[in-house]
Amino acid sequence: MMTLQELHEHYKAVRARLNDPSKVYRKPEPIVIRAEPDIIVTDTPGTPADLFFINHANAILHRVAKKHDVTVADIRSPSRKPFLVRARQEAAYEIRTQRKLSLPQIAVLLGGRDHTTVLYGIKRHAELLAKQAQETE
């Protein structure tokens, strides 16, 4: 068993290790990929194939924004207004089905959301399309 003095020395050493600024974990800076007309921040390297898919994903975002009479900035915003949520879900669905981007990549394109939010939005939009197809039959 440790004496009280040994215990205090141990705690002091642990605190020194925890507060050492050279040991602090720093998240690497994200890579900025310019895709006209917007700037996309991703954590993936910008290979030509990535740029191709991201540029086309931006085109999809602009098309969906125009269809819903909102801006791309609105789609990327943190707002949870129903008309923006529907536009965001449609954009996620279109990007996933047409461009096959990963869920985290789509999440970054849509304003830094969680990939599970994107997955939920894709499923919701698919259900909405199925429901609309049944109603038209």
Look at residue 102 in the predicted model and tell me its pLDDT: 87
d(CA 5, CA 10): 9
Buried b (16+ CB within 10 A) or exposed e, 33-62: bebeeeebebeeeeeeebeebbeebbebbb
Which has more confidence, 113 or 32? Answer: 113
Computed over every residue of the chain, the mean pLDDT equals: 80
Contact status, residue 107 vs residue 118, Cβ threshold 8 Å = yes
Q: What is the pLDDT of residues 77-94, one digit of tens each?
A: 999 999 999 999 999 999
> Which pLDDT band, with edges at 50, 70 and 90, does 69 fall under?
very high
Ordered by start, the domain boundaries in the chain are 31-136
46's CB contacts (< 8 A; 6+ apart) are: 31, 33
**pLDDT exceeds 80 at position 41:** no
- Count of CB atoms situated within 10 Å of the CB of 85: 14
Q: What is the pLDDT of residues 101-121, one digit of tens each?
A: 889 889 988 988 899 999 999
Question: What is the share, in percent, of the chain residues with pLDDT greater than 70?
Answer: 75
CATH of 31-136, one of 1.10.1750.10, 3.40.50.2000, 3.40.50.2300, 1.10.490.10: 1.10.1750.10
